[in-house]
Amino acid sequence: MSTVNMPRETWATRIGFILAAVGSAVGLGNIWRFPFQVGQEGGAGFLLMYLLFIVLVGFPAMLVEFVVGRHTERNPVGALKEIGGGAWRYVGWIFVATGFVILSYYSVVAGWTIRYTILGLQDGYLADAGEAEGQFVTFASGLDAIFLHAVFMAAVILIVGLGVKRGIELAVKVMVPAIIAITIGLAIYAATLEGASDAYAYYLAPEWDVIAANWTSILPAAAGQAFFTLSLGMGVMITYASYLDENRNLAEDGAIVIGFDTMIAFVTGLIVFPILFTAGIDPGDPGAGAIFVSLAAAFGDLTLGWLIGAVFFGTVAIAALSSAISLMEVVVSYAIDERNVDRMTAAIGIGGAMFLLGIPSAYDLVLLDLFDLFADQILLVLGGLLLMILVGWSLSTLAIEELERGIGDLGGYGTAWIWAVRIPVVLALFVALTLGVLDYVEFLTGPFSEWLADL
């Protein structure tokens, strides 16, 4: 392992760590990605499957990442090398690569949120769905998208470059409470709309025949969404836990993080679907840009829709920033720990490389989908699966002892957690990975090959 000359940073307060972890989890995954995944997969059936993955897979997996990070006090590459041996550092690279790829296109989508916030405050939104789609196509690609991608990435670089305490922790203490308060306020407003009752039925009442007919697509999508929204499989929770300097109750912290994250995702559905149903817009339109087109048209049809839309998209932009800083921190922490690079230098260099990788996603939506499906349904799940196998089957004693720091003797609960990791978590991730690979191959041979043929 490399000799590290720089003192390793730590969180100033417990609330700082929790808000940072919540801020990482509560981002575009909740407010941009979750609604269009629900709509694309048929409504309440996806919601049910997603919640099951959060409880049965997400929580045990988060505890694994927490104990690995706190025990090693390293980035994912260094952590996996320390606990698993030299060959396992390559699994750590999967985590680093995942965060790198995701932030490259995540920043492009975040740029859209900035554009739509400004649009609401300037000209308002177009009520006609066709015109709204044309407007989105104009904004989502080309120089405008690249410029806003650069603006957003610059903000991420600045915050991460300032450090854990002066940058990340200070930022999330402002952003996360604002996200929670505004989201709840928007949900209360959405409940007053005339389409709310039909929207709630679509969102909250599962249709079992739909689940039975589409489970092969719902399962990997729900697993990927659960890992995406909880920032698992990206190395974020390993990295953030590595900055802990006290014996805290990781199970309690994990439950708080997951509780807030799931609440925001759930409440976002209570906002988005009443707005769409009130405007008479189909929530099942596929694609990464669907939520922008559909919601913009819906806001254009509502009284004071320009204001509600600006507040909504502004909230999404803040949430995107709180998540983006965690993704960059994973790669930056590797540069600091393993390469002894100055933090600001690492942030600028890595952020610049991410910006360049994101340009294709800003060029065409098909390329954004290409990156998103690969990172979400393959890289995320693969890294998580391999880590669960290592810790669950080879390092169970170490994991239980580390989790007991700050909790005390877990007794049978520790064994139950490890067996949950060994069997249901590993099995669910293996099935999700297999289906995700098949889904990605279908995309490559379908929409992507058609895109190539049209070039």
Per-residue pLDDT tens over the stretch 135-149: 888 888 889 899 999
Higher pLDDT, 158 or 211: 158
Question: pLDDT band at 64, cuts 50/70/90?
Answer: very high
CATH of domain 14-454: 1.20.1740
- Give the range among 85-99, 126-140, 340-354, 395-409 with minimum mean pLDDT: 126-140
| pLDDT(2) > 50 | no
pLDDT of residue 211: 74
Per-residue pLDDT, averaged over 188-202, amounts to 91
Distance CA 327, CA 384 (A): 16
- Joined together, the tokens standing for residue 62 give 């988060």
> Could you tell me which residues come within 8 angstroms of residue 160 by beta carbon, excluding any fewer than 6 positions away?
167, 168, 325, 328, 329, 332, 343, 347, 351
C-alpha pair distances (Å), 330 with each of 164, 349, 444: 12, 14, 29
Q: pTM for this structure?
A: 0.87
> Could you tell me which residues come within 8 angstroms of residue 163 by beta carbon, excluding any fewer than 6 positions away?
9, 343
- HSE-up of 40 (CA within 13 Å, CB side)? 19
pLDDT of residue 4: 43
3-state secondary structure of 414: helix
Distance CA 276, CA 199 (A): 8
C-alpha pair distances (Å), 327 with each of 27, 101, 262, 414: 11, 10, 19, 30
81 and 93 in contact (C-beta within 8 Å)? Answer: no
Per-residue pLDDT, averaged over 86-110, amounts to 91
3-state helix, strand, coil in the chain (%, to 5): 80, 0, 20
**Residue 192: count of CB within 10 angstroms of its CB:** 9
Q: Minimal CA–CA distance to 236: which of 317, 156, 334, 141?
A: 334
pLDDT of residue 244: 84
Distance CA 329, CA 332 (A): 5
pLDDT of residue 270: 93
Question: pLDDT band at 361, cuts 50/70/90?
Answer: very high
Query: Token pair 């988005």 is at which residue?
Result: 272
Cα pseudo-dihedral 270, 272, 274, 279, rounded to 10: 180
What phi and psi values does residue 315 have, to the nearest 5 degrees?
A: -65, -40
Question: pLDDT band at 159, cuts 50/70/90?
Answer: very high
Question: pLDDT band at 261, cuts 50/70/90?
Answer: confident
Per-residue pLDDT, averaged over 81-105, amounts to 91
Query: Token pair 């808000």 is at which residue?
Result: 19
Percent residues over pLDDT 90 in the chain: 41
Per-residue pLDDT, averaged over 198-204, amounts to 91
pLDDT of residue 15: 86
Higher pLDDT, 28 or 66: 66
Domain ranges of the chain: 14-454
| pLDDT(265) > 70 | yes
Distance CA 228, CA 431 (A): 17
